[in-house]
Structure 1
Amino acid sequence: MASRVALLLLLAVICIGFAAAEIPADCCLSVTDKPFPRSKIESYIIQEAGLGCDISATVLITKNGRRLCTPHPSLSRWVKAIIDHMQKTKKGQH
């Protein structure tokens, strides 16, 4: 009987480990489509669905370190405008 309990506990630990590994800690699980001032944005990360995350999104990182989950640039004009502006600014600095 003790071996069955130990086996069940081991199986539970393995299942919990797999479940925890399914969702990376830095993925957006939902997005907010509320425009944010580009002057407060320092950088961004494009998140693609199927590459470790469930949804496609854009993570906008503010100058004070906050991470905002916003729509993918292909789905939102204001997000695309921020990214385009950042890319133009970056090219001008080189």
Structure 2
Amino acid sequence: MASKVAALLFLGLICFHVATAQIVMDCCLSVSEKRLIPKNIVSYKLQVAGSGCDISATVFLNKKGMKLCVVPPEGNQWVQNLIRTLEKRRQSAN
């Protein structure tokens, strides 16, 4: 009986690892330093290296639904300003 339980637990563990290995991450593979026009940007997210992606980036989403990968906000004032603008827009919409 104990061996059946152990075999079931082992099988469950294998299934879990296979399932988690199948998760596809949508990561930026490179970044641009090109400045974006704030009126065309609707949202953003931060991509952190080591959290499923190889590089850190700021991912902006424009009105057409395109994801634009730019440099991380650390040390890039224009990215910080754009994030601040988006946060103000979000607060005023609520």
Q: Same fold (TM over 0.5)?
A: yes
- 4+ residue runs over 3 A deviation: none
Correspondence for 1:65: 65
Following superposition, the deviation at residue 91 of structure 1 comes to 1.3
Count, aligned residues: 75
Following superposition, the deviation at residue 39 of structure 1 comes to 0.4
SS in 2 for 1:69: strand
Tell whether 2:46 aligns with 1:46: yes
Structure 2 length normalisation: TM-score?
A: 0.71
5+ residue gaps, structure 2, are: 1-20
Structure 1 length normalisation: TM-score?
A: 0.71
Work out the percentage of aligned pairs sharing the same amino acid. Answer: 43
5+ residue gaps, structure 1, are: 1-20
Tell whether 2:30 aligns with 1:27: no
Range that drifts further, 40-49 or 75-84: 75-84
Following superposition, the deviation at residue 25 of structure 1 comes to 4.6
Correspondence for 1:8: none
Mapped partners of 1:90, 1:28: distance in 2: 24
SS in 1 for 2:84: helix
Question: What one-letter code is carried by the residue in structure 1 that aligns with 2:54?
Answer: D
**CA RMSD, aligned part only?**
2.1
